[in-house]
Chain A
Amino acid sequence: MNANIPVLFRSYQSHETHSGCKIWEAARATSAAPSFFKSIEIGNKQPVIDGGLGCNNPSKLLLKEAHVVFPTQPIGCLVSIGTGQAEVISIKPSGFFQQILPTDVIDALKAISTDCEATHEDMLLLFANSSNIYFRINVEQGMQDIRLTAWEKMVNVEARGHRDRKKRPGVDFFAKAISAGLTN
């Protein structure tokens, strides 16, 4: 398994389409976060895992793909969605965290966080002169105490979002992104 080679699952024809992949297999592969679910073998029997390790911010991959699929068209809108994990990871790993995780794992997590933010900085630079094209949405506060497995809280968060969606502060931002996507 090589975490450095990302696998793209496409719903459209491409010269590298993963032949014969089913919808559930693609979903299962992208959910295979190590220590949560085992990896899955699809097609050529190469095991695949969730992109959280090694390819956490796929913005550059997306730009490359867009260029291949739409070679003559400029980027109209790019929305990048973070999970807020960078904030969690950047918290000083002291005490309990340090004790349960080996140093090399902490280093790997830091590298992912740094890579994620570095890619975001690169995107900001790339689109610095074109407004309303690149949008990065990340959770900055409030996710620190929700672990990946805390599904009960997750359901609560989702349910709350469900009810109050029209009132949430992010709506203006999304509206801007959507209208940018429509007009560009």
Chain B
Amino acid sequence: MLGRLRMDIDTAIDAYNNLVQQVFSDPKQWPSDGRFKATKLKEVFQSVVRNASPTGDAEEPLLEVGNASICRT
């Protein structure tokens, strides 16, 4: 959040609280291969990326090309 998405600290804490609430308040009804929904986790992460990314692309690649002085995460 801080290194790659360059969120400021307050925004990151808010986003984290929000995602924790969304993911853990909705456990699987029939737990198998993990108690919580991986699809839900994926959606929440995509939404965090969409909101933080300058291009608004939820599928933004992890790799940043070019600028060598940027934060390496």
Contact = CB atoms under 8 A, between A and B. Distances in A.
A173 to B, nearest CB: 16
A36 B34 contact: yes
A69 to B, nearest CB: 7
A40 interface: yes
B41 A23 contact: no
A22 interface: yes
Nearest to A70: B72
Interface in A1-53: 9-13, 17-18, 20-28, 31-32, 34-38, 40
B34 A11 contact: no
A11 B20 contact: no
A21 B48 CA distance: 16
Contacts of A11: 3-4, 62-64, 71-73
Sort chain B's interface into a size bin: 35 or more
A35 B35 contact: yes
A11 to B, nearest CB: 4
A151 interface: yes
Interface stretch (A76-84, A121-129, A153-161): A153-161
22 contacts: A9-B62, A11-B73, A21-B62, A23-B5, A23-B60, A24-B45, A24-B58, A27-B45, A28-B41, A31-B41, A32-B34, A35-B34, A36-B35, A37-B36, A37-B41, A40-B38, A151-B20, A151-B25, A155-B17, A155-B21, A158-B13, A158-B16
Given A25-B62, A27-B45, A35-B34, 12 more contacts: A10-B73, A12-B70, A18-B62, A20-B61, A22-B49, A23-B53, A28-B38, A28-B42, A38-B38, A40-B38, A151-B21, A158-B17
Interface of B: 3-5, 10, 13, 16-17, 20-21, 23-25, 33-36, 38, 41-42, 45-46, 48-49, 53, 58-65, 70-73
